[in-house]
Amino acid sequence: MSPTLDEVRALESQHVLGTYKRQPVLFVRGDGVRLFDADGKAYLDLLSGIGVASRGHNDPELTRAIIDQASTLMHVSNLYYHPLQGEAAQRLSALSGLSRTFFCNSGTEAVEACLKFARRYWFTKQDTGRTRYVSVKGGFSGRTMGALSVTSDPHYREPFEPLIPGVTFVSASDPAELLAAVTDKTAAIIAEPIQGEGGIRPMSQAFADAINEACRRTGTLYIADEVQTGLGRTGFPFYFQALGLQPDLISVGKALGGGVPIGAALVSERVAETIFPGDHGTTYGGNLLACRAAIVVLDQLTSGNLLDQVRTTGEHFEQRLQALAAKHPVVTELRGVGLMRGLEVKVDAALVVDEARNRGLLVNRTNEKVVRMLPPLTISIADLDAAMDILDAALGAVDQGAQA
């Protein structure tokens, strides 16, 4: 017998550090786009564990590969060779155009590695004063001291200051501000092609052009933080490609292991040439289990027509959301690309999240007033329609509450 929600809560409240505000639901099983709670109730999961389970839950191919790998060899450390790191890296290189990969264990670590590699590049080039970063207001790159230093929101930062100095934040709506901020002291610009935690805000073409121009003018490196946007979420392998950006470094995480923790910093050849043994490392990074999962995920992304499917499903998703935005006065804006969508509402988005969950649909609140949706890339039109019908009812309930 699995424990009840109340039992799990009681145990966690005594022993798990209280860094998360969990919703009152206990999941015990998953199958494709559905999660099941301890009472056997099914939920349509339009969040995929925050963009991680991009083939849905319990994908048979991924599960088989993980079981096979776990019963063969999981981990040997980076002191030795194993056959899978090179294979996973080769696939990432083919998708991104950057030749080298450093493997780590999360998106934050991927960002951290990119920030370090950018500094190492200039250090090797003996431009040792070139240590500054330019980042974007409203962006999110993680919570370690380095990643937090390039994340602007004071709510995340303030309790942990002082952070790394020399970071300038510019407005994503002001390309001229970016051009003025990037100088010959800037090691790197870091920006998400679509801000995820910041409320699903796609970068404008003008801002992307300004990044390219600033990099061309000053030689500054661009770090594309693709932790949330990468690996097919938008219908492109990476969203920098849609904007014509030319990163020297890319941070990857979330979907890469389909649920097995793995992150990656992708590095251009000219940066790779400036990095040497001992510059960076991590015990788990790129172990056999994580790499085997990543190889399955990457092969699933490139074989068949998954990216086309994401674009087609994404268009249908957009049409359904547009109809909801037109119908419900509480919705103020719809944003996003492919299967990465946000609905901005007039009220706290938690109200929509709760109404949806009570009706068997999982969506997420981000940036207070945004309902974020990151469904599995494989979601069928029928399941998406069923989810939109539930969201319609949830928004209707919130509309009524807002008027009362």
Ligand X SMILES: Cc1ncc(COP(=O)(O)O)c(C=O)c1O
Residue of the chain from 35, 47, 111, 391 that contacts ligand X (CB under 6 A): 111
**Contact residue for ligand X among 69, 101, 228, 313 (CB under 6 A):** 228
* Closest distance to ligand X from the beta carbon of 374 (Å): 10
Nearer CB in complex with ligand X: 192/344:
192
The window from 96-104, 105-113, 284-292, 303-311 that contacts ligand X (CB under 6 A) reads 105-113
Q: Give the count of beta carbons closer than 10 Å to the beta carbon of residue 6.
A: 10
118, 188 in Cβ contact below 8 A? Answer: yes
How many positions of this chain bind ligand X (CB under 6 A)?
A: 14
Taking CB under 6 A as the criterion, which residues in 160-219 touch ligand X? 192, 196-197
Q: Is 141 in the site for ligand X (CB under 6 A)?
A: yes
Site for ligand X in 288-317 (CB under 6 A): none
Report the nearest approach of ligand X to the CB of residue 94 (Å).
Answer: 22
Stretch that binds ligand X, among 35-43, 90-98, 134-142, 211-219 (CB under 6 A): 134-142
Decide if 231 contacts 54 (C-beta within 8 A): yes
Query: DSSP per residue over 339-397, as a string?
Result: TEEEEEESS-THHHHHHHHHTTEE-EEETTTEEEE---TT--HHHHHHHHHHHHHHHHH
Distance between CA atoms of residues 345 and 338, nearest Å: 20
Residues 99 and 90: beta-carbon distance below 8 Å: no
Which residues inside 336-375 make contact with ligand X, applying CB under 6 A? none
Dist CA 115 CA 98 (whole Å)? 16
How many CB atoms are located within 10 Å of the residue 15 CB?
Answer: 7
Structure tokens at 111: 């960002």
Q: Which stretch binds ligand X (CB under 6 A): 17-25, 140-148, 292-300, 320-328?
A: 140-148
Taking CB under 6 A as the binding criterion, the range among 74-82, 91-99, 135-143, 390-398 that sits at the site for ligand X is 135-143
Q: Does 112 bind ligand X (CB under 6 A)?
A: no
Amino acid (1-letter code) at residue 337: V
Residue 139 corresponds to which amino acid? Answer: G
> Which range of residues in 31-39, 162-170, 221-229, 377-385 is near ligand X by CB under 6 A?
221-229
The piece of 5-13, 31-39, 101-109, 341-349 that touches ligand X (CB under 6 A) is 101-109
Q: Is 231 in the site for ligand X (CB under 6 A)?
A: no
CB of 13 to ligand X, least distance (A): 23
Closest contact distance (angstroms) between CB of 154 and ligand X is 18
CB 340 within 8 A of CB 229: yes
Does position 225 interact with ligand X (CB under 6 A)? The reply is yes
The region that residue 123 occupies, defined by phi over 0 for left and psi between -120 and 50 for alpha, beta otherwise, is alpha
Q: Is the peptide bond before 162 cis (omega within 30 degrees of 0)?
A: yes
DSSP-assigned letters across all residues of 309-347: HHHHHHHHHHHHHHHHHHH-TTEEEEEEETTEEEEEESS
Q: Is 107 in the site for ligand X (CB under 6 A)?
A: yes
Please say whether the beta carbons of 252 and 227 come within 8 A: yes
To ligand X, the closest distance from the beta carbon of 334 in angstroms equals 20
85 contributes a contact to ligand X by CB under 6 A: no
Residues that bind ligand X (CB under 6 A): 106-108, 111, 140-142, 192, 196-197, 225, 227-228, 253
